[in-house]
Structure 1
Amino acid sequence: MEEIDWSDRAFYDDGEWVTWSEIDEQLRYKEWGAKYPNAIRSMIPYFEDLLSLAESYHLETGLHLSVYGDIGELFGAITYGIKLNKTYAQGADGRLGNDHVEVKTITPFKTKDVVVVDTNGHFNKLLVVKINEDFQVSGRMIDRKDLPKREGRYLRVRWGDLPTPK
């Protein structure tokens, strides 16, 4: 006879057991949805797992995995509703309505909160995602027309110069 693990069982509802982990997951999804109404909630587990992996790998080895760009893009999909383009698609990282969005990520090991943007890219909006040394993630978006004007192909954008979300 199979032994039942009761440790994660919360209650019996409509002929099925509901577990504490399922309740926790639903609460997290509601929290993301309340904070970010355009959230693509199906991406939340991938974002959380990848961020957790990057953090635990760093704590274990002192090294960093090359996943921070992906974490930044997933954060944009979840928080802003950006529909991500295929990997290595030319132009921008995704679309937000009719706008093409370029996502740049400030990694936890960077000494300066600056990203370099190729102004030859085809984008209308820039999302800068910052992952700090405690692996907390935040983002700031700006319209391309509001970026500083300068000569040359590459533009350095400072986190502190970006508008804070409302």
Structure 2
Amino acid sequence: MGEIPDDATHWDTGDWIEWHRTSLGVDHRPCAAAAQDQQAQMTALHINLLRAAKGYFEMTGHHLPVYPQIAHVHAAIFCDLPMDGPDRTCAQTGVEVACLAPHSPSDEVEVDLSHDFVTLIVVKISDDFTAQARMISRADLPKSKDGPYRVAWQALPHTF
């Protein structure tokens, strides 16, 4: 294998990394760009939450009660939403986020149609602890504002 030239670069997670920076040995300093990038921080949080949930399940056979939070972080990353805190409601954001947990007996979520939302985002965390999201407009759901309505994963049109 040939030697890498000093001026060679490669693309890594949104940054150009110069080979000569790493050819002198392992650089243990944290990347300043990642610490300042909220998208990178949320992505790291998302990955860590999924790993923690998977590790706990593999060790104990039980689920950590973190799947709704994982769904909100996933929706924030992939649907470009602000992170919701405990004081934010779907009436303020216009988005209702629902979660399908791994090893769930059903591929349906229950949505309260009395909530005032514009978009429903359903995040499915698969049995292998990967996540994907689908969304549907409130206009595509029944016009009724009466209580719960079940929505099947397969009925959701847009995948992220």
Relative to the length of structure 2, the TM-score reads 0.73
C-alpha RMSD of matched pairs (Å): 3.3
Change (3 A) 1:80 1:20: farther
**Counterpart in the other structure of 1:147:** 141
**Counterpart in the other structure of 1:42:** 41
**1:4-43 alignment runs, 5 A limit:** 12-13=20-21, 19=27, 40-43=39-42
Residue 54 of structure 2 aligns to a residue in which SS?
A: helix
**Counterpart in the other structure of 2:61:** 62
Give the share of equivalent positions with the same residue, in percent: 32
Change (3 A) 1:22 1:62: same
Distance in 1, matches of 2:136 and 2:142, equals 11
CA contact (8 A) 1:40 1:77 kept: no
Q: Which amino acid aligns with 1:165?
A: T
Change (3 A) 1:47 1:21: farther
**Structure 1 stretches lacking a partner, 5+ long:** 1-9, 30-38
Q: Which runs of 4+ in 1 moved over 3 A?
A: 16-23, 148-151
Residue 148 of structure 1 aligns to a residue in which SS?
A: coil
**1:1-166 alignment runs, 5 A limit:** 12-13=20-21, 19=27, 40-89=39-88, 91-92=89-90, 95=93, 100-149=94-143, 152-165=146-159
Residue 44 of structure 1 aligns to a residue in which SS?
A: helix
- Tell me by how many angstroms 1:136 deviates: 1.4
CA contact (8 A) 1:127 1:141 kept: yes
Q: Which amino acid aligns with 1:133?
A: D
Relative to the length of structure 1, the TM-score reads 0.71
**Structure 2 stretches lacking a partner, 5+ long:** 1-17
- Tell me by how many angstroms 1:84 deviates: 2.4
- Tell me by how many angstroms 1:87 deviates: 1.1
CA contact (8 A) 1:73 1:93 kept: no
Distance in 1, matches of 2:143 and 2:129, equals 32
- Tell me by how many angstroms 1:147 deviates: 1.4
- Tell me by how many angstroms 1:11 deviates: 5.3
Residue 65 of structure 2 aligns to a residue in which SS?
A: coil
Change (3 A) 1:20 1:136: farther
- Tell me by how many angstroms 1:104 deviates: 0.2
